A and B are shown apart, each in its own frame.
Chain A
């Protein structure tokens, strides 16, 4: 075998902010010996920053962790702190919380499908080139994203870092009348979402199956978004309060991120759209369930490339749910319920667009945060992504480095990892021995 020596392939561009994701592949005697992915920075700063703050502040502070999924951070934080305070947010306010979260799912999934993922399947370098040939398609994606943002603007006060969320509910709730134009926009969005499913279902997908254990929330009767208990494809079931007993985070030498595994279980696990769908497809609302069937999805999906279909189905689900919630909406008497501080520990877990997002808060009797723990989906998925890439690279070793880099980037895009809003490109280091 030709010894090509150590070579570094890198792709660099004008990046708005600092950060360089990297992927390291070591091949020896035709076997992939090692794949390392270092793309993610855990929110350790925020855990430290939250200490000493009032129990009322985490929803606003954690919303700043991610521009794409602030509602996920806010909602998990609210749940955890409300658990300490002994508050159960009643029906109408809980429904509004789910509605807000639907907005985030729609906006986030539309962004990923249209701006990032679809061009891979259609042979375009990116969304700009796709728009040049298929303006109407990209316009459809922007309209969908706008519908999601409209929900976040109305309920959250604004679509970036929503400011209307508080412990116990909202600072202000909309009147039923205010939701009327939103429903109109969402009815149009439902057609766009169904068109999206039909469009992506027609793509060609490589054969690839991930065998990881899958972890998602489960809330019998509804598709899990803003609440539920944890369940895995391997039969695990546990509540948010037991999350840290079941999910073990370990330091790995090459990364600032901790890698997660399920206690007592070998191998990595995966959370996110594939896990959510596979564990909960039976509870999709009717229009989304029909769309999934017509798209050829079975009860489960383990091909990461087909996550684009699952995301599209989840957009239908979120729009359908949003319309249902708006239809049943009656303005609550009060926008929030009081939450008096107590000493104790609380746990919250929700389904961010990219998967399970867990938070824990330790409060003292005055309501000051004494400790915080934040476990986002990407820190849980990093090991699984690496494992999948190992198999992916092994099957493509005859590709030259440029093509292999390109295909690895495409494979990583399947998971849409949260890269802490800091990593704009992937640099691949390939060592062939």
Chain B
């Protein structure tokens, strides 16, 4: 299958794909996995950024971007491992719960802060995959590994659409 040709980002802004996660947390490694697959396929002008989801780093990565795409693992209750969610954000909900540690700060805070500080990208697309196993360990579970292929293709389509 041939991926659509990629268009450059809108004038003035860069295009960034942020892979959030930790490859030593099994399915949480889906973000880094997608990032590594994109490295051979995305246009060179596209910035590929590995992140732990910490808000300041996320904001720094996407501030001024015409398009930012975030790939991340999420948990759901009840979970359907491998199920994909594609979310286009023009408005962020406030974080529902305040974490008890700075380790718990994440995408919700990043989006909320970026909106208040005028650091949102022109367009933010989140590709989230429901995880099956987020314990310490390496390797994606089969359902999430399969989803990684689908997300890679979906991200390439988003990049092509600009």
Q: Which A residues fall within an 8 A CB radius of B? A: 11-19, 21, 39, 41, 43-46, 49, 64-68, 108, 111-112, 115-116, 125-129, 131-132, 135, 138-139, 142, 145-146, 149, 158-161, 409, 412-413, 416-426
Assembly CA distance A18 to B28 (angstroms): 9
Assembly CA distance A142 to B114 (angstroms): 11
Q: Which residues of A contact B28 (CB under 8 A)?
A: 16-17
Q: What distance in Å separates the Cβ of A1 from its nearest Cβ neighbour in chain B?
A: 29
Q: What distance in Å separates the Cβ of B106 from its nearest Cβ neighbour in chain A?
A: 5
B107 at the interface (CB under 8 A from A): yes
B23 at the interface (CB under 8 A from A): yes
Q: Among A16, A146, A425, which residue has its beta carbon within 8 angstroms of that of B56?
A: A146
B residues 59-81 with Cβ under 8 Å of A? Answer: 59-60, 72-75
> A46 to B24, Cβ gap below 8 A?
yes
Which of the segments B33-41, B134-142, B154-162 contacts the partner chain? B134-142
- Give the size range of B's interface with the partner: 35 or more
Q: Which residues of B contact A424 (CB under 8 A)?
A: 97, 99, 104, 106
Q: A126-B98, A128-B112 are in contact. Are A418 and B103 (CB under 8 A)?
A: yes
Q: Among B52, B105, B138, which residue has its beta carbon within 8 angstroms of that of A115?
A: B105
> B103 to A128, Cβ gap below 8 A?
no
Q: Among B60, B100, B137, which residue has its beta carbon within 8 angstroms of that of A146?
A: B60
Q: What distance in Å separates the Cβ of A124 from its nearest Cβ neighbour in chain B?
A: 10
Assembly CA distance A423 to B102 (angstroms): 10
Interface of A is mostly: loop
B6 at the interface (CB under 8 A from A): no
Q: Which residues of B contact A146 (CB under 8 A)?
A: 56, 60
Assembly CA distance A18 to B27 (angstroms): 10
Q: What distance in Å separates the Cβ of B117 from its nearest Cβ neighbour in chain A?
A: 6
Assembly CA distance A309 to B10 (angstroms): 44
Assembly CA distance A135 to B112 (angstroms): 13
Q: Which residues of A contact B96 (CB under 8 A)?
A: 12-14
Q: Which residues of A contact B117 (CB under 8 A)?
A: 131, 135, 138-139, 142
The total of interchain contacts (Cβ-Cβ below 8 angstroms) comes to 160
Q: Which residues of B contact A111 (CB under 8 A)?
A: 54, 56, 102, 105
> A14 to B74, Cβ gap below 8 A?
yes
Assembly CA distance A35 to B112 (angstroms): 34
Q: Among A21, A116, A159, which residue has its beta carbon within 8 angstroms of that of B102?
A: A116
Q: A14-B74, A15-B75, A127-B109 are in contact. Are A416 and B102 (CB under 8 A)?
A: yes
> A416 to B101, Cβ gap below 8 A?
yes
The list of the 10 closest CB pairs from A to B, nearest first, reads A67-B52, A45-B136, A13-B97, A13-B96, A128-B112, A18-B134, A424-B104, A131-B116, A412-B100, A112-B102
Q: Which partner residue on chain A sits nearest B31 by CB separation?
A: A16
Q: Which residues of B contact A108 (CB under 8 A)?
A: 102
Residue of A17, A39, A127 contacting most chain B CB atoms (<10 Å): A17
Q: Which partner residue on chain B sits nearest A131 by CB separation?
A: B116
Q: Which residues of B contact A138 (CB under 8 A)?
A: 113, 116-117
Residue of A115, A128, A129, A418 contacting most chain B CB atoms (<10 Å): A128
Assembly CA distance A108 to B103 (angstroms): 10
Q: A41-B136, A127-B109, A139-B117 are in contact. Are A145 and B56 (CB under 8 A)?
A: yes
Q: What distance in Å separates the Cβ of A42 from its nearest Cβ neighbour in chain B?
A: 9
Residue of B50, B112, B116 contacting most chain A CB atoms (<10 Å): B116
> B104 to A160, Cβ gap below 8 A?
no
Assembly CA distance A421 to B96 (angstroms): 18
> B101 to A160, Cβ gap below 8 A?
no
Q: Which partner residue on chain A sits nearest B53 by CB separation?
A: A16
Assembly CA distance A127 to B110 (angstroms): 10
Q: Which residues of B contact A418 (CB under 8 A)?
A: 101, 103
